[in-house]
Amino acid sequence: MEGKIMNDGHQQWTGEEQLIRLLRASYQRHPGQLNEPFAADAELIDLSGELNLACTVDCLREEIELGILENPALIGWTSVAISLSDLAAVAADPVGLLLAWTIPPKFSSDLLSKISRGAQDAAAFHKTYLMGGDCNTGSPLQISATALGTVPKHITLQRVGMLPGDGLFLTGPIGAGNALGFAKLRKLPEASALEDSYRPIARFDWGHVLREFATSCIDTSDGVLASLDILARLNSCGIEFRNRPSFYAGSVRMMAFRYNIPLWLFAAAEHGEFELLFSVRAEREGEFLDRCTQAHLACSRIGTVLKEREFRIETSGSVANIDIRRVRGLAENLTNDPGGYVTSLIEYSSGIGIREEKT
């Protein structure tokens, strides 16, 4: 399942990706590193023996600063789950986590204890451990989680490897994270209930099936369309996204109907649901679906990999091409003008004529 990144003149990187490239420019590459930059959700290192090391780090800050996450237990839970989700996307088994805390001066000890318990609850749920870390004083509150895992030596599941004709599958419903984000940024009455029900889970339950069938994989921490865009650019392919109401969470369909928000925008915004998005060869889809049934796992076929380098959305038999760079670019201003970001997404949707099924 190893692959190579197809870089060419058409490649366009987001602001975050450009920053990472700048920072990495002076790094010395580990001789045992199996993945190229951006090519996997976790770094994969060939050390020795029968297992490879999978390691990743992620920081939870923006969601706290914007008020999307306010429940202290949920903040702790999410700080752990987001890094574990990256391990799940390379079909790793978790070993444990290290947490680095930046804590504002005079921060409530009670709130800090609730955040810490939430982190421990997430680790226990995923059958892994908080092994240590670091803390310092600063503002705003942020938590960085480094997750460590292992992968069998013969498995190198990355974001690269998919080919035109492959089916694209998602392990769960679309939009729970974006529904919460919309509700919080627009200060909607549903916001509290959506936060109470939001618990991102790393999908380690899919590990064995992914090792057998997936040709590429990414988690949807940044939303479904952003994840599809990353896969498309790394593999020099196009994407057809099948936009179906049944693919979305019930709470998402309710919000779309109540506030007249196009469903596809809950896939387009970038506060994701932390499901796994992966590709399967067309000739193996039947065998793959049989294996899912045997394992009592459910997924949705949300699209197809295209040879043509375009990004299109198919809804009710109609197809619309979208400018995915423009859609993703709207998120660059999220921190400075969160309300304006939501408005810009809605305005863009109204201008391209996507006709959706009734929810």
pLDDT band at 13 (very low <50, low <70, confident <90, very high): low
Which range has the worst mean pLDDT, 141-145, 184-188, 200-204? 184-188
Domain pair 35-152 / 167-352, same fold:
no
Coil, strand or helix at 27: coil
pLDDT at 125 over 90: yes
pLDDT at 6 over 90: no
DSSP letter string, 234-286? HHT-EEEEE--GGGB-HHHHHHHHHHT--TTHHHHSSS----EEEEE-GGGHH
Query: Taking residues 205-224, what's their average pLDDT?
Result: 97
Residues 6 or more apart from 249 whose CB is under 8 A from it? 173, 174, 175, 176, 179, 273
Query: Taking residues 38-61, what's their average pLDDT?
Result: 95
Residue ranges covered by each domain of the chain: 35-152, 167-352
| pTM of the predicted structure, to 2 decimals | 0.92
- Residue 48 has what pLDDT? 81
DSSP letter string, 78-125? HHHHHHHHHHHHTTPEEEEEEEEEEE-TT--HHHHHHHHHHHHHHHHH
pLDDT band at 359 (very low <50, low <70, confident <90, very high): low
pLDDT at 16 over 90: no
Identify whether the C-beta of residue 357 lies closer than 8 Å to the C-beta of residue 244: yes
Who wins on pLDDT, 16 or 71? 71
pLDDT averaged over every residue in the chain: 92
What 8-state DSSP symbol labels residue 341? H
CA-CA distance, 193 to 174, in Å (whole number)?
18
Residues 6 or more apart from 79 whose CB is under 8 A from it? 60, 99, 115, 119, 122, 143, 144, 145
Identify whether the C-beta of residue 77 lies closer than 8 Å to the C-beta of residue 119: yes
CA-CA distance, 145 to 56, in Å (whole number)?
8
pLDDT band at 9 (very low <50, low <70, confident <90, very high): very low
Q: In what order do the strands lie in the sheet with 276-280?
A: 214-219, 276-280, 167-170, 300-306, 238-242, 311-315, 318-321
Identify whether the C-beta of residue 236 lies closer than 8 Å to the C-beta of residue 6: yes
- Residue 299 has what pLDDT? 98
Is domain 167-352 in CATH 3.40.50.720, yes or no? no
Q: Where are the beta strands (DSSP E) in the chain?
A: 43-48, 51-60, 93-103, 130-137, 142-152, 167-170, 214-219, 238-242, 276-280, 300-306, 311-315, 318-321
pLDDT at 357 over 80: no
Size of the chain, expressed as the number of residues it contains: 359
Task: Name the burial class of residue 125, with classes exposed (0-12), middle (13-18) and buried (19+) by CB atoms within 10 angstroms of its CB.
Answer: middle
| CATH no., domain 35-152 | 3.30.1330.10
Identify whether the C-beta of residue 239 lies closer than 8 Å to the C-beta of residue 311: yes
